[in-house]
Structure 1
Amino acid sequence: MTTAYSTDTARWAAIERRDRAADGAFFCGVRTTGIYCRPSCSGRPLRKNVAFYDSREAARAAGLRACLRCRPDEPIETLAYGFGDTPLGLALAASSEAGLALLILGQDRTEMREDLAARFPRARLVEDETAATPALVALARALDNGRAIDLPLDERGTDLQRAVWKALRDIPAGTTASYAEVARAIGRPLAVRAVAQACGANPVAVLTPCHRVVRSDGGLSGYRWGVERKQALLARERAAKEIAA
């Protein structure tokens, strides 16, 4: 049992704030409905109707069944995340045991946490600045010279999306490619729109450099984290390339 949730008071407080870090530490049983839930479940039971259980087995032994909303019997994946300041603003990095799952840019910690939670609705989210360090170091290096440290990635996407993201990492720093060129690179020359959508869905800012993809006429088009950031990234990379030359 996690120390932070060792008392009924602490457990109820976790339920009230829908604390996803508490998922797996205990389970919430609701007498009136006969179900048990994760602490982060969106349901809102009354305190008088709630009992706490250390395990799923204990909840089932009490005659309760699993909630269909939060699905407490499904495996819980833990994502550790942290924040860091960069020349392009605030960054959030989140990693699983498999590797870096998310790296986003923003300005507001609350909004960025909400983005993380929305992308991984079944994950247990634990804030841990040290866990984010490798990704933030890689990001700092990429911003410095356009070359990213090779990190293991935990990519969640379709086969086409993953193919696009790999093709993006093959675009040399200081250069750009059009959406049509990326489509040809993955062997799907007619999938230009799908390539653009995959760029927009890119979960790893800068390290998977969707900022290097432009329109066929050279225009910057859009960027998930703002066109101004895209301009700044390309300018930094071109400057670093000129210095290296």
Structure 2
Amino acid sequence: MTSVCIPVAGAGHRLPSLRRHHHPKPSYGQPTRFRCYVDEEGTSARECVSSFKGMKSVACGLLAAWAVTAASPVVAANQRLPPLSTDPNRCERAFVGNTIGQANGVYDKPIDLRFCDYTNDKSNLKGKSLAAALMSEAKFDGADMSEVVMSKAYAVGASFKGVDFSNAVLDRVNFGNADLQGVIFKNTVLSGSTFNDAKLEGAVFEDTIIGYIDLQKLCTNTSINAEGRAELGCR
């Protein structure tokens, strides 16, 4: 919840006069304050205490707009995921990939792979573009996903045990609570990706491409073994 208080002129604050005519001295009460509250999604703003209705409406509107733009992408993704696709062939779309997929997550049609099972797939996923794919709770254990592009993918709770991500682009992927034990991140781009509570035992980070800030966050994951921490350069 975000709270903003703005003090308005009250007792002790004199307003400048543009003319030298004598006018009755305005009567000011206690300092007037108004407070706006915005919910977590930034979708509403309401006033608690105010006597300046025009000002409160403008301020609360601006605060709501700010909250929408400042909202965490992760929170938004958790709360605004679309309903599960009813396409009976939705899992097969991964074998085609995103035909116009790019690193910024542009797609012609959402790729919904949630709850799909690609265990030990060694040929169909390699080199595919799965930008902005929804992958939560899917299984990719033992699959060959080398050279894939998964920019902005949502893989919370997915299982990637033993997956080969060599030379892949995993930019801004949410791997929260994912099982990544034994994953190979050799020469893999991991910039902007998050691994909150992910299992990374035995993960290989040889020549991984990752930003300094992202590296510091990744190094806080205690499941990474000593060899993996050495490859990353964790201190």
Task: Please indicate, yes or no, whether the TM-score normalized by the shorter chain is above 0.5.
Answer: no
Instruction: Name the larger-Rg structure.
Output: 2
Scaled to the shorter chain, the TM-score interval is under 0.3
TM-score norm. by structure 2 comes to 0.27
Question: Could you say which structure has the greater relative contact order, defined with CA pairs below 8 angstroms and 6 or more residues apart?
Answer: 1
More strand as a share of residues? 1
TM-score norm. by structure 1 comes to 0.27
